[in-house]
Amino acid sequence: MADRDGLIWLDGEMVPWREAKMHVLTHTLHYGMGVFEGVRAYQTHKGAAIFRLEEHTDRLFNSAHILGMRIPWDRETLNQVQRDVVRENKLESAYLRPMCFYGPEGMGLRADNLDVHCMVAAWSWGAYLGEDNMRNGIRIKVSSFTRHHVNITMCRAKANGNYMNSMMALQEALRDGYDEALLLDASGYVMEGSGENVFIVRDGVLYTPDLTSALDGITRRTVMTLCDEIGLQVVEKRITRDEVYIADEAFFTGTAAEVTPIREVDGRAIGAGTRGPITERLQSLYFDQVHGRRDQHPEWLSLV
Ligand code: PMP
C-alpha cells in the first residue's frame, strides 16, 4: 500500500505517496485516539463524483467532537481536498480515506500538547467483499467478540481504536472459513458487521437494529431513503440472532461493502440461500444512485 505512485494530502500539502510518512512516536499509533472516514467516488456520466461527501465530512467532524479533538481545518477545505485528491490522482472511481490523528509532539495520555494532523488518500478499490459475492451473497458467522458497550467506546464516532474489535471479529470469521462476522451487542442483540450495518427482510418489511452501538452508516441512511421512495417499510428495532436465522433475506450495507447480500448465517441458509429479490432491487437502485443514473438526490454527488 505504501509503495505506489500518486499523491496524498497531508497537513495542507500534496505529498508524493511514498513520502507521506509520520514519526514512530505518532500518538494515535500508540493509543488509537483518532478519527477517520471511508468514502467512495464513482464514475458518472458527468465524470468522477464523490458520494455523500458532505455527510461523510460531517460525520468526521462529529467523531472528532465526540473524542474532544479539534480538527485544524474547516469542512469546506476538507471537502475540497477530497475532490482534489481524486482529481490529482486521475481516478475515475476511488475509495477515499481521510483521517485526523494526534502527532508525535508528546506521549502522555493527557494529550494536551499535541497537534492534530490530517491526511486524505485515495485509490482504486473494487467490491470489498468480492464481485461474485455481490451476486450470490456471503456466508457469515456470529462473532465470539461482542460489539462495544455504549459506554466503553463511543460508537457514534468512527474512531481508530474502535476497529480493534472489528478486526478481531473479522479475522476470527475468516479463519473459520466465513466471509464476514456479525457482531452482537453487550446484551446479545444483533448489532452490525465488522465494517457494515445489517438489514433483514421478513414478509416484505425491512428491519435494522437501532443505532446504539452500531455506527450511523451513511449507506444505511441511503438504503432507508431508497426504501421510502419505492414504498418499502423499514423498522428500526432490537433484533435477535434467531430472527436473522428465519429472515427471508439479509444484507450488509457500507461504503466499502455497498449492498452485499448475506446467504448464510451460522450454517443456516437465509431464505432461498442466495441473493433475495428485495436485496437485488435495493442493490441495483443503490448502484444507479451512486453512478448518477437516478434523477433523485443530485446533491448526493459531488463532482471532483
Ligand atoms: N459499521 C461500521 C463499524 C463501519 O466501519 C462502517 C463503515 N464505515 C459501517 C457500519 C457502514 O457505514 P457507512 O455506510 O457510512 O460506510
pLDDT in tens, 39-58: 999 999 999 999 999 999 99
Residue whose Cα lies nearest atom 5 of ligand 1: it is 195
Q: What is the pLDDT of residue 82?
A: 98
d(CA 135, CA 142): 22
C-beta of 196 in contact with ligand 1 (< 6 A): yes
Active site residue 90: no
Query: What is the per-residue pLDDT across 72-129, written as a single tens digit (0 to 9) for each?
Result: 999 999 999 999 999 999 999 999 999 999 999 999 999 999 999 999 999 999 888 8
Exposed, middle or buried, 238 (CB in 10 Å: 0-12/13-18/19+)? Answer: middle
Q: Are strands 34-36 and 39-44 parallel, antiparallel or unpaired?
A: unpaired
Q: What is the pLDDT of residue 244?
A: 98
C-beta of 208 in contact with ligand 1 (< 6 A): no
Nearest to 217 by CA among 186, 190, 196: 196
d(CA 298, CA 36): 25
Residue from 57, 170, 215, 260 whose mutation best tests the ligand 1 pocket (most atoms within 8 A of CB): 215
Nearest to 82 by CA among 111, 115, 57, 58: 57
pTM to 2 decimals? 0.97
Q: What is the pLDDT of residue 259?
A: 97
C-beta of 195 in contact with ligand 1 (< 6 A): yes
Q: Are strands 94-102 and 258-265 parallel, antiparallel or unpaired?
A: unpaired
| Cell numbers standing for residue 226 | 431508497
Q: How far is ligand 1, taken at its centre, from the CA of residue 108, in Å?
A: 30
Structural domains in the chain? 7-123 (3.30.470.10), 131-290 (3.20.10.10)
**Residues 220-223: contacts with CB under 8 Å, at least 24 apart:** 220/253, 221/55, 222/52, 222/253, 222/286, 222/289, 222/300, 223/199, 223/253, 223/259, 223/282, 223/286
C-beta of 192 in contact with ligand 1 (< 6 A): yes
Task: Specify whether the CB–CB gap between 240 and 191 falls below 8 A.
Answer: no
C-beta of 133 in contact with ligand 1 (< 6 A): no
C-beta of 217 in contact with ligand 1 (< 6 A): yes
Q: Are strands 234-236 and 205-208 parallel, antiparallel or unpaired?
A: parallel
Residue 262 contacts by C-beta under 8 Å, 6 or more apart in sequence? 137, 138, 139, 140, 198, 250, 251, 252, 270
Rounded to the nearest 10°, the torsion over CA 67, 70, 73, 75 is 50
Question: Any idea how long the chain is?
Answer: 304
Residue from 255, 283, 286, 290 whose mutation best tests the ligand 1 pocket (most atoms within 8 A of CB): 255
Task: Specify whether the CB–CB gap between 144 and 194 falls below 8 A.
Answer: no
Strand partners, 120: 9, 98
Q: How far is ligand 1, taken at its centre, from the CA of residue 39, in Å?
A: 10
Q: What is the pLDDT of residue 231?
A: 98
Q: What is the pLDDT of residue 280?
A: 98
* Residue stretches of the chain with pLDDT short of 70: none
